[in-house]
Amino acid sequence: MLNTYFRVIVGVMVLLSVVLSVYVSPKWMWFTVFIGVNLIQSAFTKWCLLETILVKLGIKKEGASCSVK
């Protein structure tokens, strides 16, 4: 379940940043870069802030989440 929430939230954030960069300001692409960098760092560190937040909100871990464990 955690993996599903994670994918939906990250997908929405990426799409939102693209829409904002087209209609508001190209500087919103930095948000997309931020998301990408966090995904890459979570692959190496096995830690993801979004995962921590979702677990504290009561979402149950089910298999892999931000990074493959």
HSE at residue 5, side-chain half, CA atoms within 13 A, is: 15
User: Does 47 map to a domain?
Assistant: yes
Query: Does residue 26 belong to any structural domain of this protein?
Result: yes
Query: What domain range is 27 assigned to?
Result: 2-56
Distance of CA 63 to CAs 12, 22, 27, 59, Å? Answer: 22, 36, 35, 12
The predicted pLDDT at position 69 comes to 47
18-38: average pLDDT = 95
Residue 33's pLDDT is: 95
Q: What is the pLDDT of residue 1?
A: 82
**Tally of CB atoms within 10 A around 12:** 10
Whether residue 21 is contained in a domain is answered as: yes
In a domain, 19, yes or no: yes
- Does 63 score more than 70 pLDDT? no
Task: Tell me the mean pLDDT in the region 14-22.
Answer: 96
pLDDT at 68 over 90: no
* Total tally of structural domains belonging to the chain: 1
- Classify residue 15: in a domain, yes or no: yes
Whole-number mean pLDDT of the chain? Answer: 88
In whole angstroms, what is the distance from residue 14 CA to residue 20 CA? 10
| CA 6/CA 67 separation, integer angstroms | 11
